């Protein structure tokens, strides 16, 4: 891979550690959680460079991307590989992804009440959402560990991304979606790219439990946001944003919050950037939930004393999650950045979406939660009109054009119970194994 005049830093090292008990694993682990205690895993990097030298590496790669015909060279994820994963070039599965814009619109600024607000539109990724950043790293890791298949639970964006990257990697993929609870645009992508898509009787949290069972019992590689390598890819949203701002940290970074993978990733990215002297201060994170799916916001209001679970209901389907998987990591991210978590109503989300759409920018409903949250904190006096604020838009307008409605007839399978779905996955894998034997 050509990276301009700055070569890959071969002295960088990557390890995987359990955040709960401290057990250390190889960077080629296929585990998503600790086998000793069940805790979430964290990927840690020790790059050779830091500060100005590390910024120079990243900046030169960004400049060289226009000259580099390889997908990894043009990727807005693998540009930051020393802080993502020390993978060999022939292991990397890249579309490429990233390189999403920071956009300024006067109407969004007026609506939010912040003079210089910018939106970072992750809907410009290959499959139309930020999920591609995490998926390039997760599928690269799946290839590194020789995964027999990959799987995820999804409200739509994860499934579309998984299906595309698994197809590129040539690895069989399974997607578990809640019955009648997925936007048609996302389902259409998942089916087109070839994932085996199973509708499950229940909600996203039921699908997530099934995905965990498939990983534990059948050895399928899980790529939901509990996967630590997904987090490594998603945190490049922040690295790229900071690079676009000439490494000058904003005051606030606002983002929609559902399963809390991005909240975790953003906190990790900021901690690393500050520790390595890429930035000289930490922005505050603002995680925004829909009021009908707001367990994290409710817990924040009470000081995170208890973990809260709810039966989620919101038209912003991408964040309709009542039992977020990345809870502990997200708590640490909010606390470390002196961040805030709030909820906004569906009416507030769709009011923000209307403004974003009418600017010619456009986004799926859940994305607009970030701008709605900024507006809410400006009205409370927490965010000042002169603050430098970045609001992340997580998905493209066409991901969910009907605001959550879906034609379930587009799915190839009737709704299944989790037990029936697990049995079907086992049969499919057994058939694949038999057909591959001489």
- 177-181, 232-236, 288-292, 325-329, range with the lowest pLDDT: 177-181
φ, ψ of residue 16 in degrees (nearest 5): -120, 130
Q: How much is the pLDDT for 400? A: 81
Q: How far apart, in whole angstroms, are the C-alpha atoms of residue 427 and residue 438?
A: 19
* Least confident window among 38-42, 88-92, 304-308, 338-342: 38-42
pLDDT(409) > 60: no
Contact 273, 242 (CB under 8 A): yes
Query: Across the chain, what does the average pLDDT equal?
Result: 91
Q: Which residues pair with 341 in a beta bridge?
A: 287
Strand pairing partners for 198? 176
Residue 213 predicted with pLDDT over 70: yes
- Res. 203 pLDDT band, cuts 50 70 90: confident
Return the pLDDT at 179: 82
Residue 345, exposed/middle/buried by CB under 10 A (0-12, 13-18, 19+)?
middle
- Pick the residue with more confidence: 304 or 402? 304
- Which of 50-59, 356-365, 408-417 has the weakest average pLDDT? 408-417
Averaged pLDDT, 159-176: 96
Q: Taking residues 284-289, report their average pLDDT.
A: 98
399 — pLDDT class (breaks 50, 70, 90): confident
Copy the structure tokens of residue 147: 């995964």
> What's phi and psi for 228, nearest 5 deg?
-65, -25
Q: What is the fold, at CATH topology level, of the domain defined by 102-127+229-399? A: Rossmann fold (3.40.50)
Of the pLDDT bands very low, low, confident and very high (cuts 50, 70, 90), residue 11 is very low
Residues 6+ apart with CB under 8 A from 136: 75, 77, 78, 92, 93, 94, 95, 97, 165, 233
CB 253 within 8 A of CB 305: no
Share of the chain above pLDDT 90, in %: 76
Non-local CB neighbours of 168 within 8 Å, separated by 6+ positions: 93, 95, 139
Q: Enumerate helices (H) and strands (E) in the chain, giving the number of each.
A: 15, 13
Handedness of CA 316, 322, 325, 330 (dihedral sign): positive
Mean pLDDT of 215-239: 94
Say what the pLDDT of residue 5 is: 33
Q: Give the residue, 435 or 45, on which the prediction is more confident.
A: 45
Phi, psi for residue 274 in degrees, rounded to 5: -70, -45
| Mean of pLDDT values over 404-418 | 63
DSSP-derived secondary structure letter, 318 = G
- Phi–psi pair at 194, nearest 5 degrees: 105, 10
CB-based contacts of 427, cutoff 8 Å, min separation 6: none
Among candidate residues 252, 255, 303, the one with its CA nearest the CA of residue 282:
252
Spatial contact of 145 and 137, defined as CB atoms under 8 Å apart: no
Percent of the chain residues past pLDDT 70, beyond the cut = 93
3-state secondary structure of 207: helix
In CATH, the number for domain 131-228+406-436 is 3.40.50.1100
pLDDT score for 6: 37
pLDDT-derived band at 147 (thresholds 50, 70, 90) equals: very high
| Mode of pairing for the β-strands spanning 150-153 and 221-222 | parallel
Per-residue pLDDT tens for 62-97? 999 888 888 898 999 999 999 999 899 999 999 999
Answer for the pair 323, 203: CB distance below 8 angstroms, yes or no.
Answer: no
Residue-level pLDDT at 76: 97
Say if CB 403 and CB 365 are below 8 A apart.
yes
Task: For residues 21-48, give the mean pLDDT.
Answer: 91
d(CA 234, CA 188): 23
Give me the pLDDT at residue 404, please: 59
Q: Cα separation of 360 and 430, whole Å? A: 49
> Which range (173-187, 254-268, 303-317) has the least confidence?
173-187
Task: Give whole-number Cα distances, 281 to 36, 103, 270, 398, in Å.
Answer: 36, 23, 9, 36
First to last CA, the chain: 36
pLDDT at 438: 61
Q: Looking at residue 2, what is its pLDDT?
A: 35
């Amino acid at each position: 891979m050509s990276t301009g005049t700055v070569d890959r830093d071969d002295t960088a090292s990557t390890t995987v550690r359990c955040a709960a008990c401290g057990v250390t694993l190889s960077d080629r682990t296929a585990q998503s959680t600790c086998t000793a205690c069940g805790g979430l895993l964290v990927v840690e990097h020790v790059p050779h460079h830091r500060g100005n030298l590390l910024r120079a590496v990243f900046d030169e790669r960004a400049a060289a991307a226009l000259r580099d015909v390889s997908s990894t060279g043009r990727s807005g994820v693998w540009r930051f590989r020393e802080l993502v994963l020390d993978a060999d070039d022939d292991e990397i599965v890249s579309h490429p992804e990233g390189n999403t814009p920071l956009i300024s619109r006067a109407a969004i600024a007026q609506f939010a009440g912040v003079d210089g607000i910018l939106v970072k539109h992750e809907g410009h990724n290959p499959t139309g959402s930020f999920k591609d950043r995490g998926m390039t790293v997760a599928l690269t890791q799946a290839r590194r560990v020789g995964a027999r298949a990959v799987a995820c639970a999804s409200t739509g964006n994860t499934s579309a991304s998984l299906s595309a990257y698994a197809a590129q990697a040539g690895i069989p993929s399974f997607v578990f979606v809640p019955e009648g609870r997925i936007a048609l645009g996302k389902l259409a992508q998942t089916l087109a790219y070839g994932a085996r898509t199973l509708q499950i009787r229940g909600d996203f949290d039921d699908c997530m439990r099934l995905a965990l069972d498939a990983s534990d019992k059948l050895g399928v590689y899980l790529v939901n946001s509990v996967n630590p390598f997904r987090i490594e890819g998603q945190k490049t949203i922040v690295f790229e944003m900071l690079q676009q701002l000439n490494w000058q940290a904003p005051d606030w970074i606002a983002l929609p919050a559902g399963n809390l993978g991005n909240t975790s990733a953003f906190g990790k990215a900021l901690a690393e950037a500050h520790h390595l002297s890429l930035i000289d201060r930490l922005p505050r994170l603002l995680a925004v939930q829909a009021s009908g799916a707001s367990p994290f916001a409710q817990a924040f209001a009470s000081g995170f004393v208890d973990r809260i679970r709810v039966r989620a209901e919101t038209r912003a389907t991408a964040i309709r999650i009542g039992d977020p998987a990345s809870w502990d990591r997200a708590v640490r991210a909010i606390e470390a950045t002196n961040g805030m978590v709030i909820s906004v109503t569906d009416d507030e989300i769709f009011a923000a979406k209307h403004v974003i759409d009418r600017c010619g920018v456009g986004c799926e409903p859940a994305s607009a939660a970030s701008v709605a949250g900024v507006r809410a904190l400006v009205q409370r006096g927490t965010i000042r009109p002169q603050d430098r604020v970045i609001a992340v838009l997580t998905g493209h307008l066409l991901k969910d054009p009907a605001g959550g409605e879906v034609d379930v007839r587009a799915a190839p399978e009737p709704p299944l119970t989790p037990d029936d779905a697990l049995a079907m996955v086992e049969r499919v894998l057994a058939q694949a194994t038999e057909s591959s034997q001489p």
